[in-house]
């Protein structure tokens, strides 16, 4: 379990931020971070908010302590590392009850200052770039924002794709949807662009293996754009299936066999396959070592 509660004796009536800095010894930035992320509790488990004064004898701080399952980076230098994430693994904890995620391995192997430079969905396998220190983290995130890092994905989708395709469809949060995280194409959304290139069409299964180059980086962009042309990624539990089924999948009230029946795969058939960029005057061109196949 990555988050563990560390108990400290409280100073009654002292404001929480002042207490964390003066008595616990946290840097100002870390104290502010813990408060903002709701990681400070009284001894009865009640969250302590900013500017609150301490009213109990002890304060509990939820501290991230990484564990490992042996997922080592496939590339590492003194600035950053690249992990080859399996499908089904979240990159970041969603709450302090998250048992294990990629950030565990990042912090375990690279240290407590290491961070994820970007994210991919839990169902997506493949490459995730991680920074080793804060300065590098800021630099790499800026490179992503400025589109200085080329990302290539591969996917298996329903139907036939035999020619290069460019999808220019704005994306926004879905309206009137049962699924809170669902996105949709909409003229009122943010400009989004995805390039699709065919690799292979399997006429026996009526599926296509394709290369995907997202030019922009919207939430669920690849999945939304492919679904907009009726080429849903196999294993997608949100797009291309009935929303009542999607809702049952997300609430874990449906069997794995039923999920496969509706999505045509036991996993999301999408992989972050390549990262190419220049850093410190050197060119890096890294490919995933995983083989995406049904």
d(CA 86, CA 105): 13
Q: How far apart are CA 236 and CA 270, in angstroms?
A: 9
End-to-end CA distance of the chain: 32
Catalytic residue among 60, 84, 104, 121: 121
Please count the other Cβ atoms lying within 10 Å of the Cβ belonging to residue 40: 26
Determine whether 247 is an active site residue: no
User: From CA 161, how far away is CA 166, in angstroms rounded?
Assistant: 12
- Nearest-angstrom CA–CA distance, 184 and 105: 33
Neighbours of 70 (CB within 10 A): 6
Beta partners for 129? 82
Helix (H) or strand (E) segment spanning residue 273: strand 270-279
Q: Sign of the C-alpha dihedral, residues 156, 84, 260, 95? A: negative
Q: What are phi and psi of 248, to 5 degrees?
A: -65, -35
Contacts of 19 (CB under 8 A, 6+ apart): 10, 11, 54, 59
- Exposure string of 99-128, with b = 16+ CB inside 10 Å and e = fewer, is ebbbbbbbbbbbeeebbbbbebbbbbbbbb
Q: State the catalytic residues.
A: 121
């Amino acid at each position: 379990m990555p988050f563990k509660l560390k108990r400290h004796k409280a100073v009654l009536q002292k404001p929480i931020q002042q207490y964390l800095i003066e008595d616990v010894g946290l840097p100002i930035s870390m104290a502010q971070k813990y408060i903002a992320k709701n990681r400070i509790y009284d001894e009865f488990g009640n969250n302590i908010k900013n500017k609150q004064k301490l009213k109990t004898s002890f304060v509990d701080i939820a501290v991230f302590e990484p564990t490992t399952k042996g997922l080592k980076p496939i590339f590492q230098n003194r600035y950053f590392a690249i992990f080859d994430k399996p499908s089904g693994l979240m990159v970041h904890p969603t709450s302090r009850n998250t048992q294990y995620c990629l950030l565990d391995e990042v912090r375990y192997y690279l240290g407590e200052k290491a961070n994820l430079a970007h994210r991919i969905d839990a169902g997506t396998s493949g490459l995730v770039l991680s920074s080793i220190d804060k300065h590098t983290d800021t630099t790499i995130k800026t490179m992503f924002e400025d589109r200085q890092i080329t990302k290539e994905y591969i996917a298996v989708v329903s139907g036939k794709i035999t020619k290069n395709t460019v999808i220019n469809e704005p994306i926004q949060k879905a309206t009137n949807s049962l699924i809170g995280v669902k996105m949709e194409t909409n003229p009122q959304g943010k400009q989004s662009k995805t390039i699709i290139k065919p690799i292979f069409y399997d006429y026996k299964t009526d599926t296509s293996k394709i290369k995907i180059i997202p030019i922009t980086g919207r939430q669920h962009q690849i999945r939304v754009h492919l679904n907009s042309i009726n080429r849903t990624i196999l294993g997608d539990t949100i797009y291309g299936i009935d929303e009542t089924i999607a809702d049952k999948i997300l609430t874990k009230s449906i069997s794995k066999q039923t999920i496969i029946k509706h999505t045509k795969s036991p996993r999301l058939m999408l992989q972050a396959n390549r990262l190419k960029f220049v850093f410190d005057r050197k060119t890096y061109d890294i490919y995933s070592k995983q083989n995406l196949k049904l």
